[in-house]
Chains A and B, each alone.
Chain A
Amino acid sequence: MQLDGPVTARQARPAEDARRPNPFIKIVLLGLTVALAIWAAFPLIENEAWIGLAILAATTAGLLHLYLTPRHVPAKYLVPGTILLIAFQVFPVLYTASTAFTNFGDGHRGSKAEAVVAIQTASVTQVPGSTQYALTVATTGDPATGPLVFLITDPATRQVRAGDAAGLRDISATVNSAGRVTAADGYTVLTTGQASLRSKEITALAVPTGGGAIRSSGLSRAYEGKAGRLYDESCDCVRDTTTGRTWTADEGLGSFVAEDGDRLAQGWKVTVGLSNFTRVLTEPAISGPFLRTLVWNLAFALASTGGTFVLGLLCAIALHSPRVRGRILYRVLLILPYAMPSFAMLLVWRDMFNTDFGLINNLFGTDVDWFGGATSARFAVILVQLWLGYPYMFLVATGALQAIPGELSEASRIDGAGAWAAFRKITLPLLMVALTPLLISSFAFNFNNFNAIYLTTEGAPFPADNPANGATDLLITYTYRLAFGGAGAQYGFAAAISIFIFVIVAVVSAISFRRTRRQEEVYS
């Protein structure tokens, strides 16, 4: 409906330039955008996320304005990319960075109010010696909206009582063999379907009694329960109703803490400032093996990238020569490892390196404990990387080689250069201009190549005195273990570490790109 105005505007100037994109496509795309916005609005309204809704409305209105008016031509080209960039790059980075300043993780996922609810609900126990009643949910009004009443039947006496927030009173009613009320004067019995629609109210209803309150357990049974722990707003603490022990809220930790340091398990999310970052830098278990891991990580990324590049390039050059017969067949064969899912291949390689049952030891008649020694394990993972990665380098090198004009090497031959000199002085520099950005991205990928380690060695071998850091651990697998291995998931801590890793990769990439730019200036 929002599109009405602009449509009439277009009607006034029907003579459109033939080069303009088809208005049909435009209307469909904008219609889809509006539909998407409306679809996204419902959950936002439901969760009362007004800021999100305002952003959504403003973005949609802005998009409609932009594409339905003839002005702002450059923005028409820039906006879609910018929106995608914000949604898929900027927002995740900002979210990660903001998480790094919190204690978000297991035991600290929700708000304080949610923690209080969880503590109180978890502490409700059946009053010792009390009876369990057969329950019938009924109402004094309309089944969908009327006030709820619990009709409870004592299993021994079959006496029926009606209970609501005001308390219990005896009534007379018809009871079936299971003790549940089928009809009672002045009350409408709810069917399971009707009752299930009012689930929240049923769970919330507690009929006060002397020793506690009658609560529902499902829709057909009720019990007399008593909350063992209650939140007290005056002291901002949780009090045990039997022992009187208190746990006071600590807003710095996001936990209820007793005087002796005992913490309740259910905490909440709080901002912890820089403590996740200082923990990375000061905890000896993390900072101790950090340098060693970083060196191996760099070596792994360099060896994976450099090794696959050299191997791929050699294959590409060999198959570039027109004298090779059956080039297409060879190329297909060489690309095969690239066509197989690396996930499965990594697992297959892991089993091939098994000491007793692995293909490699069986084939060569050796008895090498591949993943048991630091050197052999590192050699093994790089070998796997080489096998998985060279087809990609072979593909891009083949493409780049074909793009280099044959006249150049011909001219160098006329000038008297040998094959090696021609390759080194002419072909390789031209190749590097095209391939260096790919090498840098490949380096950045391998620097964080989680699967390559986690699906093969899982970081093994581990020194006997440090089960947290293994010889083949990359920073990413090491930190994954730190953040998710020990005390459950610690997202805040993991986010802080990922920021450190991001800085390292960014620095390495920035240096490499600067060098590439210089190279391009030389050769272009």
Chain B
Amino acid sequence: MRIRTAGVAAALTCAFLVAGCGGGDKDATTAAKASEAAPSGELVIWADDKRSAALKPFADKFGAENGVTVKVQAISKDQQTTFVTASQQGSGPDVMVGAHDWIGNLVQNGAIDPVQLSAEQSGGLAPNALKAVTFNGQTYGVPYALENLALIRNTALAPKAPATIEELVAAKTKASEKLCVQVGQNGDAYHLYPLYSSAGGYLFGTTVSGDYDPKDLGVGKPESVAAFKKIATLGEKGSGALKRSITPENSIATFTAKKCAYLISGPWAITDVKKAGIAHDISAVPGFAGGKPAQPFLGVQTFYVASKGKNKALAQEFVTNYVTTPELAVALYQAEPRPPALTAAFDQVKGGDPDLQKFIDAGKNGIPLPAIPEMAAIWDPFGKAEAAVIGGADPARTIESAGKTISAAIK
């Protein structure tokens, strides 16, 4: 008898459970249907950690004004790869925030769409920022912040801005290191470029329309050999201004520890410099005496419209008509102090932050960081050639073989 009761109880429990399970699934399905039918579209924005926090209130405001749901999701690492892979699978965002030099790769993977700005909208943007996001004659995003390298100096150690790199090397300071510019074991093409360009080198030539021409590779050409010979004089076997022991990780920290009088870095370093309470001034990266002007790369932080987003019309609306308003640019500036690309926003914040104008002035000679996909082939070999030459390797042989590696990768 007892057994039978237990059996019936067990069977009943099972039946209830099954019903429960089934019911649960049904509920889930109805819920899903209900959310689909809700009268509101959804906009998904991806940005890095800092910017997504700054974007959140504006996204909410945009959502409330327009009766749509806006989701800001933080992607903390490998944003570009994550975006391309997710887009391809159909799980990507509608709007992506990232650097302008992704454009070439994003376009070849069909991940972003061009945007159409009105004359008045494009007129409100810094001209070089607009030029940076122009690729094959199309505008591929709305820039909101600029960045470029500059020479940051500790005014207590070095009161006067050097006019040339030779002057910087010769200056007597109390610091143990002459110059903090990140090289590391495998070099850093981005931070070396101002000196390389001043010594006469170039990466890609330009076509008639002013775009970078991947068929004209400057690495390995006689100009680059001459430039690397000049750079070698600053290396470990030369004056010691450039050394591999200054790495991406320790360059800013060494400067804020007052072991360096000069630092070549960008706006992202300023927060640390200010936190360390260092009296500083900012000037353009000096070039070689009698050489060409030192050209830093201009980088532009950009809002992109994803090609495979589910809500492209809303994404275009947000990017072209909302990102071009100064309020958002100012908030993003407050999240990280890079000069806003929107002239109106720049004018609003420059009064409270004299460093901004100095960075813009230091970038006057700058050229946009190449956005063509072929640029991916440059970074690694060029950086390694730099590290080898600074370590004392033969400049001609090193840079010529780097040129060969790069042209083999580009084909």
Interface of A with B (CB < 8 Å)? 1, 3-4, 7, 10-11, 14-16, 23-24, 27-28, 31, 34-35, 38, 42, 47, 106-107, 109-110, 114-115, 117-118, 121-122, 124-126, 132, 191-197, 199-200, 202-203, 216-221, 223, 225, 265-267, 285, 351, 354-358, 369, 371-372, 457-462, 464-468, 481, 485-489
Contacts and interface: CB of A to CB of B under 8 A. Distances in A.
Interface stretch (B106-114, B261-269, B276-284): B106-114
Interface string B1-28: 0011011101101110110011011000
Interface in B29-52: 32, 39-43
A194 B313 CA distance: 12
A125 B318 CA distance: 20
A371 B184 CA distance: 10
B11 A266 contact: no
Contacts of A285: 405, 408
Contact of B22 (A1, A14, A110, A118): A1
Nearest to A481: B380
Interface stretch (B150-158, B192-200, B246-254, B338-346): B246-254
Nearest to B394: A464
Contact of B401 (A14, A35, A223, A466): A466
Contacts of A488: 105, 108, 373, 376
B302 interface: no
Contacts of B14: 3, 7, 10, 23-24, 27
B397 A107 contact: no
Given A106-B109, A460-B186, A196 B8 contact: no
B182 interface: no
A23 B14 CA distance: 8
Interface stretch (B53-61, B291-299, B381-389): B381-389
A107 B116 contact: no
Interface stretch (B164-172, B304-312, B327-335, B351-359): B304-312
Contacts of A203: 312-313
Interface of B: 3-4, 6-8, 10-11, 13-15, 17-18, 21-22, 24-25, 32, 39-43, 66-68, 81, 84, 88, 90, 104-105, 107-110, 113-116, 118-119, 136-138, 185-186, 243-247, 249-250, 254, 307, 310-314, 316-321, 373-374, 376-377, 380-381, 384-385, 387-388, 391, 393-394, 397-398, 401-402, 405-406, 408-411
Contact of B377 (A225, A460, A487): A487
Contacts of A218: 313-314, 316-321
Contacts of B43: 196
Contact of B138 (A122, A355, A468): A122
B370 to A, nearest CB: 14
B88 A10 contact: no
Nearest to A468: B405
Contact of A193 (B3, B68, B109, B401): B68
A23 B115 CA distance: 60
B245 A266 contact: no
A195 B313 contact: yes
Which 10 pairs across A and B sit closest by C-beta, in order of nearness? A14-B7, A196-B41, A118-B110, A486-B409, A218-B317, A193-B67, A192-B66, A265-B108, A356-B245, A464-B393
B157 to A, nearest CB: 18
A121 B113 contact: yes
B163 to A, nearest CB: 28
Given A31-B18, A221-B320, A462-B186, 7 more contacts: A14-B7, A14-B10, A35-B21, A106-B105, A107-B108, A197-B39, A225-B116
A351 B114 contact: no
A219 B314 contact: yes
Contact of A265 (B41, B66, B319, B373): B373
B51 to A, nearest CB: 21
Q: Which among B17, B313, B373 has the greatest number of chain A C-beta atoms within 10 A? A: B313
A488 B84 CA distance: 12
B244 A266 contact: no
Given A7-B15, A31-B21, A464-B394, A196 B313 contact: yes
12 contacts: A11-B11, A35-B24, A121-B114, A122-B110, A193-B39, A193-B66, A194-B39, A225-B116, A265-B107, A369-B391, A371-B185, A487-B376
A391 B318 CA distance: 55
Contacts of A7: 11, 14-15, 18
